[in-house]
């Protein structure tokens, strides 16, 4: 029996085969399904990534153009004046105020109605035993009726349920919802009717709205171009037959053609066949309107524009007119202008780069012909489009920037339009968008002038919408930077003292804050005026004004540091009284201002004010508000850094509360304040010393919270690296090493912070770390065996950090053991780990020396050669560094054949993307050439000049030059000059480039070789190939600078005669090289020689000739102004000018 049960259980257990739970968890947690292009597949529209606040820009209308009061010929058109705009602003403000009042009253009415409903419900729910005395209430239940009105003893099951409104009901009693057949009652429930969708307004029976089942044309989703082509094809096939086609199909007799009814017009639209049966949305029949605006076929080619890479559905709204087939001869001038602008904008927005460049140039050149109105009426709506992408916005902003220069004062009536569109860029998340916005507004203010800018932006200063006020303040700061603060100061003072509205005062003070943030220390000359303009805001009746004033003063103090304390005298008292009155955000702003002012004070005042403010700060240490914590930490840091604050005061008053409130686990999890806590603690350590700080937190290195341990380690690392470990006593040293080892071993996530901390502390302790080295080495060896790649990598990195200390402590034996272990791990499969192992080996080789190295260098180097083929950058760099170090210091331990093998491997390294790898490779060639002689290495490198890849050839030329510098130029020059005979451009250019680098590196040694290479340079300077002449000129420059003053002027003068004909070259690279060569020759030959050449062409009749000669003369004048005086030609004085040099004549 038992056996049967057991077999049944086994059968049940084996009905399905399942993988272990951990396998499923592994699969679920794996990153196989991660799409690497996920971020790029999202929408590129600006609107989709903007916050609700940024999206408010779309609520602003592009205002009509305004009258230009500063125009010379006053126009009497219908454009709005400043007075009209101000009236509209007042009207809008009043409208908003009334709307707020109505909203308030509505809420109050709803609240009262709710309260009455609650009271009635309470009254109805009362039972007869609740009432002590008879109360006259509305009779709503059977208990409130007289005895004769109520039928005693009846049950609710006695009769058939009746309708609730039946007055003849015999059984008046309390109603239940189950009493009667369900019906529509007066009080509606959400369960009473057919479900409807609250957002999409989907009706119960589909009607002509968003929820309809048969779609109407107005609510169709845009079709794909392919679907639209099919649609068009079907339209063509299903079109009605014409009379001619019907005549051809039917006999001419036997049929009668009926006349259509009078007034009949056939409907021929694409939307016709898509229309749903009209269903009324309201009572009665409603005929749905047809949407005739849809164009179902997006064109591939626009008339007058050509083939565009793309044309989007959204572009139809702005560029639809270009698709209308109209005879341009019948259009008015304005319409033709509009179409021309449209075409150019479409090319700029959707065209290819060449098309875009041409269109941009055209629209810039013809800006004044088109006029400001037509241009901005086309561009600005495009910039306000909801479908705009980053690239499109950048291009359109570039258009505005270009045409502003051309339009100049014509732009005045459109300033507000432009500002509405451009101001949102000032608060964009993208840094480059903000820069573009500032550039445009700066250029706009220069074009329109300050009076126009002020008149235009004044109504927005006290606008009802905070978004408008914010962007206007930022725009004003840009205007101030363009026109200078003094020009705007009278206006700012008036705005900041406005009695009309607190919004104006708030915006005015915010303008000062934004000017300071934008201009930085440039506000110093105007600091006193700016502080006085906003000082009264600290005692304003409005809390928001007081807060922004404190923030503006903080910004001014930060920009002025370490100067300008006398400018803040007037605000010290209000700030001090303010920190005692305020709480919350207001207090935070006041504390921030004081925090930035205290560092500007003299030592004694700083000490006094710090003690005063510290009472408030210590109280606010306990604040739960994150923003307050951030500001408190900043102020404590600034106060601690001030000279007048005494260490004993910080030790006794600040540290206990500071560590109690901020050095808690929760702060380590708070990303915003984590960094600030560490920085403040480091600043406090500068005053009170290492021991005081490290002693308080060292125990926390063994805390169970890993983020907190990491925070402690980072602080210890920064404090020790800045102040050293001299103050640390023996007991603290033991606890510190113990804590660091614990924190290092207990990591679950390997972090660079732990590695840096360990390395810094060990290096700071120096010899004192010797007793702990055995334990540290054991930890490293154990972690090198760990199955986690990151643990192994970190252990290898730690070896490279502490190798120098191990050498200092005399632990060569221990290092030799580590070297053998790392050598054994050179088969590591993870490239990151292998790179760290090679780094560890390099650090051991550096400190232990080549002869003492274990394993021996002759065994180590052959093991490194195949690793050079590894394509990982970290491995390549570490391996080449190690090979270079061995080549430099221990080349004799390895055979020449092995070094040549390495030379061939290194050639591939010259292709590396990382500059550090290429530089290390080139240096290694020099070390190897020095070790085994230049001949074999040079042969390898000269061969490499024949490859096609430019980067490879350039690196080879540098390597040749380094070999020449290392092994003396005479060992290289013969072979190099011989290689120039190869009739191949790449090789010849490579030789010239090698010569250029060679003479740059060898400097004065060039005097011995200048005559040898002069014939080669003659040939190169007369070559047809531009690059030959360019490189030869660069060589002449380095050569002439190297041999200055060494008696080689004859050869240099000879070369100058070959360089000079190239001054008329147009290629920018060539002309730059020629100019540099002439500058080099000026230094070597003296300015006089070059002046003799220049004087011949300064007054040439051809402008192009004169231009280049004057350019050379200007360079000559800048470089050797005083040396030219004796060599100017003698010219007699005339009536107006004195040319005679009397002092010179006296000496001559």
Residue-wise DSSP of 345-373: HHHHHHS-HHHHHHHHHHHHHTHHHH-HH
CB 835 within 8 A of CB 882: no
CB 688 within 8 A of CB 697: no
pLDDT-derived band at 198 (thresholds 50, 70, 90) equals very low
**Confidence check: pLDDT of 781 > 80:** yes
pLDDT-derived band at 275 (thresholds 50, 70, 90) equals very low
pLDDT-derived band at 281 (thresholds 50, 70, 90) equals very low
CB 635 within 8 A of CB 613: yes
Sorted by sequence, the CB contacts under 8 Å of residue 984 that are 6+ apart come out as: 946
**Tokens 């011949």 belong to which residue?**
1096
pLDDT-derived band at 137 (thresholds 50, 70, 90) equals very low
In order of 120, 457, 822, the CA distances from 474 in angstroms are 55, 11, 59
CB 313 within 8 A of CB 340: no
Q: Residue 333's pLDDT is what?
A: 85
Summarize pLDDT for 435-481 with one digit per residue, the tens. Answer: 999 999 999 999 999 999 999 998 889 888 899 999 999 999 999 99
Summarize pLDDT for 661-712 with one digit per residue, the tens. Answer: 999 988 888 777 889 999 999 999 999 999 999 999 999 999 999 999 999 9
Q: Residue 775's pLDDT is what?
A: 92
**Confidence check: pLDDT of 797 > 50:** yes
Q: Residue 741's pLDDT is what?
A: 93
Q: Residue 438's pLDDT is what?
A: 94
Q: Mapping DSSP to helix (H, G, I), strand (E, B) and coil, where does residue 301 land?
A: strand
Distance CA 396, CA 375 (A): 11
Size of the chain, expressed as the number of residues it contains: 1148
Q: Which of 114-128, 273-287, 468-482, 851-865 has the lowest mean pLDDT?
A: 273-287
Q: Residue 644's pLDDT is what?
A: 75
> What average pLDDT does this structure show over 272-287?
49
What DSSP line would sit under 379-393, residue for residue? HHHHHT-TT-BHHHH
Q: Mapping DSSP to helix (H, G, I), strand (E, B) and coil, where does residue 1046 land?
A: coil
Which stretches does DSSP call E strand in 559-645? Answer: none
Q: Residue 102's pLDDT is what?
A: 85
Q: Residue 216's pLDDT is what?
A: 46
Cite the DSSP H helix spans in 689-848: 690-697, 706-723, 730-745, 752-765, 773-784, 789-808, 812-824, 831-848
Q: Residue 42's pLDDT is what?
A: 56
Q: Which residues pair with residue 202 across a beta bridge?
A: 197
Q: Residue 794's pLDDT is what?
A: 94
Summarize pLDDT for 166-178 with one digit per residue, the tens. Answer: 444 444 455 555 5
pLDDT-derived band at 415 (thresholds 50, 70, 90) equals very high
Preceding omega of 562 cis (within 30 degrees of 0): yes
Summarize pLDDT for 73-104 with one digit per residue, the tens. Answer: 554 455 667 677 777 777 777 777 788 788 88
Would the pTM of this model clear 0.85, i.e. be above it? no
Average pLDDT, the chain: 81
Q: Residue 202's pLDDT is what?
A: 46
Q: Which residue, 859, 947, 953, 956, is CA-closest to 903?
A: 956
In order of 762, 787, 815, 821, 823, the CA distances from 812 in angstroms are 17, 28, 5, 14, 16
Q: Which residue, 541, 450, 466, is CA-closest to 507?
A: 466
**Confidence check: pLDDT of 28 > 50:** no
Q: Which residue has the higher pLDDT, 179 or 847?
A: 847
Q: Is the dihedral of CA 109, 112, 117, 120 positive or negative?
A: negative
Summarize pLDDT for 1065-1076 with one digit per residue, the tens. Answer: 988 899 999 999
Q: Residue 284's pLDDT is what?
A: 55
Distance CA 141, CA 120 (A): 13
Longest dimension (CA), the chain: 146
Summarize pLDDT for 1048-1106 with one digit per residue, the tens. Answer: 899 999 999 999 999 999 888 999 999 999 999 999 999 999 999 999 899 999 998 99
Distance CA 105, CA 744 (A): 65
Q: Residue 48's pLDDT is what?
A: 72
CB 663 within 8 A of CB 677: yes
What DSSP line would sit under 1072-1104, residue for residue? HHHHHHHHHHHHHH-HHHHHHHHHTTTT-SSHH
Q: Which residue, 320, 315, 313, 270, is CA-closest to 290?
A: 270
Q: Which of 313-317, 533-537, 580-584, 624-628 has the lowest mean pLDDT?
A: 313-317
Preceding omega of 210 cis (within 30 degrees of 0): no
Q: Residue 825's pLDDT is what?
A: 92
Distance CA 423, CA 438 (A): 9
**Confidence check: pLDDT of 162 > 60:** no
Q: Mapping DSSP to helix (H, G, I), strand (E, B) and coil, where does residue 47 land?
A: helix
pLDDT-derived band at 375 (thresholds 50, 70, 90) equals very high
Q: Which residue has the higher pLDDT, 873 or 62?
A: 873
Nearest-5° angle of CA 916, CA 847, CA 780? 90
Q: Residue 489's pLDDT is what?
A: 93
Tokens of 11: 């059968």
CA 524 to chain centre: 29
CB 367 within 8 A of CB 375: yes
Q: Which residue, 578, 485, 480, is CA-closest to 535?
A: 578
Tokens of 870: 């590894």
pLDDT-derived band at 1145 (thresholds 50, 70, 90) equals low
Q: Residue 1010's pLDDT is what?
A: 93
**Confidence check: pLDDT of 1112 > 80:** yes
Q: Report, in angstroms and rounded to the nearest whole number, the Rg of the chain calculated over CA atoms.
A: 43
Q: Is the dihedral of CA 640, 642, 647, 653 positive or negative?
A: negative
Instruction: Return the percentage of the chain with pLDDT > 90, whole number.
Output: 37
153: left (phi over 0), alpha (psi -120 to 50) or beta: left
Q: Which of 817-831, 886-900, 1032-1046 has the lowest mean pLDDT?
A: 886-900
CB 1022 within 8 A of CB 1055: no
Q: Residue 820's pLDDT is what?
A: 93
Distance CA 543, CA 589 (A): 11
């Amino acid at each position: 029996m038992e056996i049967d049960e057991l077999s049944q259980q086994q059968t049940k257990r084996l009905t399905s085969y399942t993988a272990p739970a951990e396998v499923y968890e592994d699969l679920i947690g794996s990153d196989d399904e991660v799409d690497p292009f996920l971020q790029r597949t999202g929408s590129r529209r600006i609107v989709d990534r903007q916050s609700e606040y940024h999206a408010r820009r779309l609520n602003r209308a592009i205002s009509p153009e305004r009258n230009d009061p500063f125009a010379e010929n006053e126009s009497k058109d219908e454009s709005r004046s400043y007075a009209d705009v101000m009236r509209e602003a007042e009207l809008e403000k009043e409208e908003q105020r009334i709307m707020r009042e109505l909203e308030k009253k509505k809420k109050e009415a709803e609240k009262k109605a709710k309260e009455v409903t609650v009271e009635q419900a309470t009254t109805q729910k009362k039972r007869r035993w609740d009432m002590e005395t008879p109360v006259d209430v509305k009779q709503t239940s059977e208990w409130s009726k007289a005895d004769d009105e109520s039928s005693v003893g009846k049950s609710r099951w006695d009769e058939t349920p009746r309708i609730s409104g039946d007055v003849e009901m015999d059984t008046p009693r309390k109603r239940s919802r189950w009493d009667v057949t369900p019906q529509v009652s007066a009080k509606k429930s959400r369960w009473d009717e057919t479900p409807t969708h609250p957002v999409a307004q989907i009706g119960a029976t589909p009607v002509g709205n968003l929820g309809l089942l048969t779609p109407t044309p107005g609510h169709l989703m845009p079709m794909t171009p392919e679907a639209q082509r099919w649609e068009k094809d079907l339209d063509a096939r299903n079109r009605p037959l014409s009379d001619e086609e019907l005549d051809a199909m039917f006999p001419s007799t036997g049929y009668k053609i009926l006349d259509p009814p009078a007034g009949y017009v056939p409907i021929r639209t694409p939307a016709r066949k898509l229309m749903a049966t009209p269903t009324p949305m309201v009572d009665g029949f409603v005929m749905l309107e047809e949407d005739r605006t849809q164009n179902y076929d997006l064109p591939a080619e626009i008339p007058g524009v050509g083939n565009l890479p793309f044309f989007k559905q959204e572009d139809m709204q702005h560029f639809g007119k270009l698709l209308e087939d109209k005879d341009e001869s019948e259009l008015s001038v304005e319409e033709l202008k509009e179409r021309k602008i449209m075409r150019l904008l479409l090319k700029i927005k959707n065209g290819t780069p060449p098309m875009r460049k041409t269109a941009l140039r055209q629209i810039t050149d013809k800006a004044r012909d088109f006029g400001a109105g037509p241009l901005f009426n086309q561009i600005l709506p495009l910039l306000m489009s909801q479908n705009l992408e980053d690239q499109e916005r950048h291009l359109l902003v570039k258009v505005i920037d270009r045409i502003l220069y051309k339009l100049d004062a014509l732009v005045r009536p459109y300033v507000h339009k432009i500002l509405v569109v451009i101001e949102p860029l000032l608060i964009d998340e993208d840094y480059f968008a903000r820069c573009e916005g500032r550039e445009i507004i700066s250029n706009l203010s220069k074009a329109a002038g300050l009076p126009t800018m002020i008149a235009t932006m004044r109504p927005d200063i006290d606008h009802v919408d905070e978004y408008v006020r914010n962007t206007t303040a930022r725009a004003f700061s840009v205007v101030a930077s363009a026109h200078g603060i003094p020009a705007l100061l009278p206006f700012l003072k008036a705005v900041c003292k406005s009695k009309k509205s607190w919004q104006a005062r708030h915006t005015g003070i915010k303008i000062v804050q934004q000017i300071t943030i934008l201009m930085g220390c440039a506000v110093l000359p105007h600091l006193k005026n700016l502080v006085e303009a906003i000082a009264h805001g600290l005692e304003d009746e409005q809390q928001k004004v007081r807060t922004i004033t404190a923030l503006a003063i903080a910004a001014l103090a930060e920009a002025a540091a370490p100067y300008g304390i006398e400018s803040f005298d007037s605000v010290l008292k209000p700030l001090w009284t303010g920190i005692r009155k305020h709480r919350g955000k207001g207090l935070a702003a006041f504390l921030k201002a004081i925090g930035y002012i205290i560092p500007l004070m003299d030592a004694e005042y700083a000490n006094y004010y710090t003690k005063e403010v510290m009472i408030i700060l210590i109280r606010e240490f306990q604040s739960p508000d994150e923003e307050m914590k951030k500001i408190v930490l900043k102020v404590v840091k600034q106060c601690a850094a001030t000279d007048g604050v005494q260490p004993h005061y910080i030790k006794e008053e600040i540290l206990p509360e500071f560590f109690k409130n901020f050095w808690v686990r929760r702060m380590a999890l708070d990303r915003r304040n984590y960094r600030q806590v560490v920085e403040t603690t480091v600043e406090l350590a500068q005053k009170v010393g290492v021991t005081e700080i490290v002693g308080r937190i060292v125990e926390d290195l063994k805390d169970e919270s890993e983020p907190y341990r990491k925070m402690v380690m980072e602080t210890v690392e920064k404090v020790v690296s800045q102040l050293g470990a001299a103050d640390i006593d023996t007991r603290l040293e033991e606890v510190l090493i113990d804590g660091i080892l614990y924190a290092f071993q207990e990591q679950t996530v390997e972090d660079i912070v732990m590695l840096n901390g360990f390395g810094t502390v060990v290096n700071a302790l120096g010899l004192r770390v010797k007793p702990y080295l055995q334990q540290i080495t054991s930890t490293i060896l154990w972690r090198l065996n760990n199955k986690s790649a990151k643990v192994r990598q970190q252990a290898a990195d730690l070896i490279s950090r502490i190798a120098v200390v191990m050498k200092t402590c005399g632990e060569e034996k221990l290092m030799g053991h580590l070297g053998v272990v790392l050598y054994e791990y050179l088969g590591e499969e993870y490239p990151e780990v292998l790179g760290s192992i090679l780094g560890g080996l390099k650090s051991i080789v550096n400190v232990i020396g080549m002869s003492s190295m274990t394993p021996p260098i002759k065994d180590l180097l052959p093991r490194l050669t195949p690793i050079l083929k590894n394509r990982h950058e970290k491995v390549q760099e570490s391996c080449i560094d190690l090979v270079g170090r061995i080549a430099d210091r221990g080349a004799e331990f390895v055979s020449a054949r092995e070094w040549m093998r390495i030379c061939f491997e290194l050639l591939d390294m010259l292709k590396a993307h990382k500059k550090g790898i290429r530089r290390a490779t080139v240096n290694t060639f020099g070390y190897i050439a020095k070790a085994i002689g230049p001949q074999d290495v040079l042969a390898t490198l000269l061969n490499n000049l024949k490859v096609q890849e430019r980067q490879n050839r350039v690196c080879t030329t540098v390597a040749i030059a380094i070999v020449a510098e290392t092994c003396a130029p005479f060992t290289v020059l013969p072979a190099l000059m011989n290689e120039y005979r190869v009739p191949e451009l790449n090789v010849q250019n490579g030789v010239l480039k090698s010569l250029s680098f060679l003479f740059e590196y060898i400097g004065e040694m060039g005097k011995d070789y200048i005559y040898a290479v002069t014939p080669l340079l003659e040939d190169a300077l007369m070559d047809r190939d531009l690059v030959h002449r360019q490189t030869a000129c660069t060589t002449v420059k380095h050569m002439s600078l190297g041999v200055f003053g060494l008696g080689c002027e004859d050869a240099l003068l000879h070369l100058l005669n070959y360089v000079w004909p190239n001054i008329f070259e147009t290629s920018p690279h060539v002309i730059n090289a020629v100019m540099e060569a002439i500058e080099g020759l000026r230094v070597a030959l003296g300015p006089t020689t070059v002046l003799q050449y220049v004087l011949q062409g300064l007054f040439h009749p051809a402008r192009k000739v004169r231009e280049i000669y004057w350019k050379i003369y200007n360079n000559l004048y800048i470089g050797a102004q005083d040396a030219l005086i004796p060599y100017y030609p003698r010219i007699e004085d005339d009536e107006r000018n004195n040319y005679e040099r009397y002092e010179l004549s006296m000496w001559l």
